Chains A and B, each alone.
Chain A
Amino acid sequence: MKTLAELMAIKEATMQKMTVREDTGDDAIRIVVGMATCGIAAGARPVLNAFVDEVAKRNLKGVTVSQTGCIGMCQFEPIVEVIQPGKEKVTYVKMTADKVAKVVNDHIVNGSPVAEYTVK
């Protein structure tokens, strides 16, 4: 390594892997995936991982992906809730890994929830 630019490149790349450890504060957007037995059985794990990857790929700041227990509507699992301070909670149901990119793009980045994936 001979330049500051090389150092900064390592910094950026590593920081992206470490965002999970950041204190995002109270105004962060939280993506919560139901990971109780019902959720896992319905395939919540690939959904959770898809969210983690998508958020990382887009290098989004102030967004955390975490898990929660059973929300109570087991027939609609995998369920994902997007919680944003000052806005009403949005609940996505019967999620799959394929639907994740659209949710991140439309809802998280552009602020318009994907109505077709929410509970009817």
Chain B
Amino acid sequence: MYRSHVLVCGGTGCTSSNSAAIIEALETQIAEKGLSEEIKVIRTGCFGLCALGPIMIVYPEGSFYSQVKVEDIPEIVEEHLLKGRIVTRLLYDETVTADEIKSLNDTKFYAKQERVALRNCGVIDPENIDEYIAYDGYQALAKCLTEYTPEQVIQVLKDSGLRGRGGGGFPTGLKWSFTAANQADQKYVVCNADEGDPGAFMDRSVLEGDPHCIIEAMAICGYATGATEGYVYVRAEYPIAVNRLQIAIDQAKEYGLLGKNIFDSGFDFDPHIRLGAGAFVCGEETALMTSIEGNRGEPRPRPPYPAVKGLFGKPTTENNVETFANVPQIILKGAEWFASMGTEKSKGTKVFALGGKINNTGLVEVPMGTTLREVIDEIGGGIPNGKKFKAAQTGGPSGGCIPASLMDTPIDYDNLTAIGCMMGSGGLIVMDEDNCMVDIAKFFLDFTVDESCGKCTPCRIGTKRLREMLEKITDGKATLEDLDELEELCYYIKENSLCGLGQTAPNPVLATLKFFRDEYVAHVVDKTCPAGVCKKLVKYEIVADACKGCTLCARKCPVGAISGTVKNPHTIDTNKCIKCGVCIDSCKFGAIIKK
């Protein structure tokens, strides 16, 4: 029996900030002090507060240490673990008030969150099936196999109102019923873990923090739809997730929770892992299945839909990781419980990966209908350096953006569609006044041009032309007619592309055009970039009154564009200037401005 458990985040975020070395140091020091029999170190999944990583929590006190360094470990072991004195200086400062230490759940970051898909992340040891079972794991599967008919399982899903979390928002129960209705000698369940949106890491965190829950949900789906084999298609760039998933499958097989005749019900289920090589288009369901079959990842026309003719030509149900993560909870707690959260047509919760210009970069899960303002200002801790919020980009390269004026819109599928945006898979990139919206659109087009598989012309050539038009705008060479053409081409690509990649690729352009047309016009008509990002349109100038003539900028300038004598105002030769920004960063008097 261990008197104390030390949970250290072993998600990708904290691993990259050295949590593996921390765990090693902890184990060594604990052994040195002879505490190995008393204190257990557990590597968990993501806690969500990635900005403060590496994260460590010590029970029974529940002390939440943030940004722990290897050098801090001797102090934590000596003081806290050996002598029971909490090292206050290393605690997450939100939990420390003048006279007491608050519980983590009372901090702003966690208080408004509702964790369903992430409920076990950062709570259990993902490589230990017993801990998953202790937190109700595999009970939902047992309940389905021993108490429910497949039709009843689908009915529970339908009643819960769960919709696909990959971005499409299609009702999950309905999707399952389509596959169930088709007779075939073999059917499949596919889990889409090919999370490709830049800045999105929800699925990775679920797989890393709670892999068993995905496997359990896939088995439930198999029972409900009549499938006996499953595939998890996961990116090879997620080595920790792949590793834990494999461990989870092996453990579940050993316990007889997968394989033949599960719970003596006659139901067989066998999941496999397939690694994706990182092509964005393989996140599209038909391209994903083509890739699993061993072919080049290219989409195929729908219909026939996967429910009729999917993987290897057999009826297939494909769901996203986060969708599956909700399923066991819905079975155990009931459809009504799930439907009590969220808005009228979007039930439950949604996980968002917060990134960009925000203080608390990380992973949050909130009930549907929470406003963007709550997510950004309260949970996210606002924008760093007192800058002003400009917009949030949702849904990555297929999504749109929510401007500051619509920050109070309750976030759900239908509201976001209504304002010309989309839910997407859950990437939420925050932009402040220093971001140029035309540049953002160009960034995402760069991505889709690279990732277009090339099968259909509107996407292959259309996105390339779109990218060129945006470049023309940021170079200050475009006319107002070009803006109209840009919009026309967007709609053409949307209507004529074969798959979701092309159909949604123009969304970042359309959304920024809709909400930030003035920025486009400034680039086109005034030949200026209001945010000072587009290099070809920016001019650097020295304000003579503010310049003290310290010569620092002239010495730093890599191209010798700044001239002047000591103690006299300097000037920048705009023909030589390469707009690298070194002078602005070096000036101590704020005398250099971008125009």
Interface residues of B in 246-289 (CB under 8 A from A): 255-257, 261, 263-264
Q: Does A66 contact B (CB under 8 A)?
A: yes
Q: Does A112 contact B (CB under 8 A)?
A: no
Contact residues in B for A14 (Cβ distance below 8 Å): 130-131, 133-134
Residue in A closest to B37 when the chains form the complex, CB atoms: A49
Residue in A closest to B263 when the chains form the complex, CB atoms: A2
The residue that A10 contacts in the complex, of B5, B82, B84, B130, with Cβ under 8 A, is: B130
**Known contacts A4-B146, A4-B263; A20/B130 CB under 8 A:** no
Contact residues in A for B5 (Cβ distance below 8 Å): 18, 20-21
Cβ A17 vs Cβ B1 within 8 A:
yes
Q: Does B535 contact A (CB under 8 A)?
A: no
Contact residues in B for A24 (Cβ distance below 8 Å): 60
**Known contacts A4-B146, A7-B142, A14-B134; A23/B62 CB under 8 A:** yes
Cα–Cα, bound, A15→B263 (Å): 22
Contact residues in B for A15 (Cβ distance below 8 Å): 134
Q: Does B302 contact A (CB under 8 A)?
A: no
Cβ B59 vs Cβ A21 within 8 A:
yes
State how many residues of chain B have any CB contact under 8 Å with chain A: 34
Residue in A closest to B252 when the chains form the complex, CB atoms: A1
Cβ A11 vs Cβ B84 within 8 A:
no
Cβ B60 vs Cβ A3 within 8 A:
no
Cα–Cα, bound, A10→B264 (Å): 18
Cα–Cα, bound, A49→B263 (Å): 39
Cα–Cα, bound, A14→B2 (Å): 12
B89 to chain A, nearest CB (A): 16
Cβ A7 vs Cβ B84 within 8 A:
no
Cα–Cα, bound, A53→B103 (Å): 26
Q: Does B485 contact A (CB under 8 A)?
A: no
Q: Does B138 contact A (CB under 8 A)?
A: yes
Cα–Cα, bound, A58→B309 (Å): 57
Contact residues in A for B139 (Cβ distance below 8 Å): 4, 7, 11
Cβ B84 vs Cβ A35 within 8 A:
yes
Cα–Cα, bound, A4→B1 (Å): 26
Residue in A closest to B124 when the chains form the complex, CB atoms: A18
Cβ A67 vs Cβ B84 within 8 A:
yes
Q: Does B576 contact A (CB under 8 A)?
A: no
Q: Does A68 contact B (CB under 8 A)?
A: yes
Provide a sorted-by-A list of 5 A–B residue pairs whose CB atoms are within 8 angstroms. Answer: A23-B105, A37-B83, A64-B60, A66-B60, A66-B61
